[in-house]
């Protein structure tokens, strides 16, 4: 199975989705390994709540599976972009429904069990500070900053995800990054980057 | 500004590594994938046949039985029991026809004449 998955891993997302629709469970495993971390990361950073983000990520992936039978293998839409868009909309729904701010305790589980306690605390502190700073940005700006600077996707792709122009994305990310820097100003020591 | 560009870049890099899915979430996502995979969705059951639809329209087996009994009873009355029915109705049938049963079933007289002449 590992051998088969390694072969599938050479394929693009669209081709894997078509294979999944034709009954290949290995394609689902590879797509999950590839796309779930991105979707979850996007949701965690924008929502600032791990549990809610997991629900959103699971729902977004479920929508991808359901969309698979009608997916055009040679079409222009990329599953990754499509999924970011679905996730962005699910996040907006959640934020609007709850209308809540994110607290500093919205941190997740350690990503690595071998991590030392000190490193874990430092990492948690950084992520809590980042989440708190992100939570102060307007929703659109937050989504754009997370997609550009954390997920690392291109501006045209973000424009497709958020359904806005590339110029608007550039403006949102620039303003968002400035606002983040301002929000995190004075926390150099707390962020643990002062030693370097 | 104390937080410089490099700090933000480092923070973003950390965040990129931070939100890795836990095993239980991955398992839930894969279970969803298996559940809704096109080949695994149960084929739709064929619809009911014409007899089942008709039976349903008259209220199932009890309705169908009632309909059958009523039909047979009507037929029996029509064929055999003109006088019995008249008796049950206290002679109203006779009154309606002026005492002439042939008025109700003129064909009977016609047949009697035909057989009598034959």
Q: Tell me the chain A residues in contact with residue B7 when contact means C-beta distances shorter than 8 Å.
A: 184, 188, 191, 193
User: Residue B23's pLDDT is what?
Assistant: 94
Same domain, B68 and B113: yes
Q: In this structure, are B67 and B111 located in the same domain?
A: yes
B38 pLDDT band, cuts 50/70/90, is: confident
Partner-chain residue, chosen from B7, B30, B37, that has the shortest CB–CB distance to A32: B30
Q: How far apart are CA A152 and CA A135, in angstroms?
A: 19
Domain count, chain B: 2
Q: pTM here?
A: 0.62
Burial class of residue A55 (count of CB atoms within 10 Å of its CB; 0-12, 13-18, 19+): middle
Q: Which of the pair, A126 or B49, is modelled with greater confidence?
A: A126
> What is the residue whose two structure tokens read 């008259």?
B58
Same domain flag for B110 and B64: yes
Domains by residue range for chain A, with CATH: 1-100 (1.10.1740.10), 102-196 (1.10.10.10)
Q: Same domain for B64 and B100?
A: yes
Q: Is A60 within 8 Å of A90 (Cβ atoms)? A: yes
Residues B63 and B110 in one domain: yes
What is the Cα–Cα distance from B35 to A28, expressed in whole angstroms?
12
Whether residues B70 and B113 fall in one domain: yes
* pLDDT band for position B16 (cuts 50, 70, 90): confident
pLDDT score at B88: 67
CA pair distance A21, B77, nearest whole angstrom: 65
Angstrom distance (rounded) from CA A118 to CA A165: 43
Assess if residue B47 is contained within a domain: no
- In this complex, the residue of A44, A54, A62 whose CB is nearest that of residue B32 is A62
- Which pLDDT belongs to residue A132? 86
**What residue has token string 């047979």?**
B72
Domain assignment of residue B71, yes or no: yes
SS3 of residue A103 by DSSP: coil
pLDDT by residue, tens only, chain A of 196 residues: 556 677 888 899 999 999 999 999 999 999 999 999 999 999 999 998 899 999 999 999 999 999 999 887 556 678 999 999 999 999 989 888 876 544 333 334 444 555 566 676 777 788 888 888 898 899 999 999 999 999 999 999 999 999 999 999 999 999 999 998 888 887 766 666 655 4
- Cβ separation B14–A109 shorter than 8 A: no
Classify residue B53: in a domain, yes or no.
Answer: no
Asked whether A79 and A17 are in contact (CB, 8 A), the reply is yes
Distance from the A5 Cα atom to the nearest Cα atom in chain B, whole angstroms: 14
DSSP B36: H
Examine the domain organization and report whether B66 and B105 are in the same domain. yes
Helix (H, G, I), strand (E, B) or coil at A164: coil
Is residue A136 packed enough to be buried (19+ CB in 10 Å), middle (13-18) or exposed (0-12)?
middle
Range of the domain at B35: 5-40
Question: Which of B5, B6, B19, B22 to mutate to probe the A interface, most A CBs <10 Å?
Answer: B19
- Rg of chain A over Cα atoms, rounded to whole angstroms, equals 18
Q: CA gyration radius for chain B? A: 41
B86 domain-assigned? yes
Pair (B113, B66) in one structural domain: yes
- Structure ipTM: 0.77
pLDDT at A196 (0 to 100): 44
Residue A89: the pLDDT is: 92
Residue B24 to residue B31: CA distance in whole angstroms: 10
Whether B21 is covered by a domain: the verdict is yes
Q: Which of A21, A62, A126 sits opposite B11 (nearest CB)?
A: A126
CB contact under 8 A, A58 and B14: no
């Amino acid at each position: 199975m590992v051998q088969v998955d390694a072969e599938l891993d050479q394929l693009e997302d669209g081709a894997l989705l078509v294979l999944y629709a034709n009954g290949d469970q290995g394609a689902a495993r590879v797509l999950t390994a590839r796309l779930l971390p991105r979707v979850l990361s996007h949701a965690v950073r924008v929502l600032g709540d791990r549990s809610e983000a997991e629900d959103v990520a699971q729902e977004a992936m479920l929508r991808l599976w359901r969309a698979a039978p009608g997916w055009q293998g040679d079409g222009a839409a990329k599953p990754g972009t499509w999924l970011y868009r679905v996730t962005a909309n699910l996040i907006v729904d959640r934020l609007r429904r709850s209308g809540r701010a994110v607290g500093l305790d919205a941190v997740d589980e350690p990503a690595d069990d071998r991590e030392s306690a000190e490193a874990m605390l430092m990492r948690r502190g950084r992520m809590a500070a980042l989440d708190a700073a992100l939570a102060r940005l307007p929703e659109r700006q937050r989504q754009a900053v997370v997609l550009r600077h954390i997920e690392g996707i291109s501006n045209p792709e973000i424009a497709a995800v958020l359904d806005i122009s590339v110029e608007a994305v550039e403006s949102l990310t620039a303003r968002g990054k400035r606002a983040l820097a301002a929000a995190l100003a004075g926390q150099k020591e707390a962020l643990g980057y002062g030693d370097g | 500004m104390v937080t410089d560009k490099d700090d933000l870049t480092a923070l973003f890099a950390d965040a990129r590594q931070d939100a890795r899915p836990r095993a239980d979430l991955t398992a839930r996502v894969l279970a969803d994938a298996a559940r809704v995979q096109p080949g695994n969705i149960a084929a739709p059951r064929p619809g009911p046949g014409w007899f089942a639809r008709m039976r349903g329209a008259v209220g199932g087996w009890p309705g169908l039985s009632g309909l059958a009994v009523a039909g047979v009873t009507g037929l029996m009355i029509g064929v055999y029991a003109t006088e019995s029915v008249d008796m049950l109705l206290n002679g109203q049938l006779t009154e309606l026809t002026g005492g002439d049963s042939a008025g109700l079933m003129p064909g009977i007289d016609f047949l009697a004449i035909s057989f009598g002449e034959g």
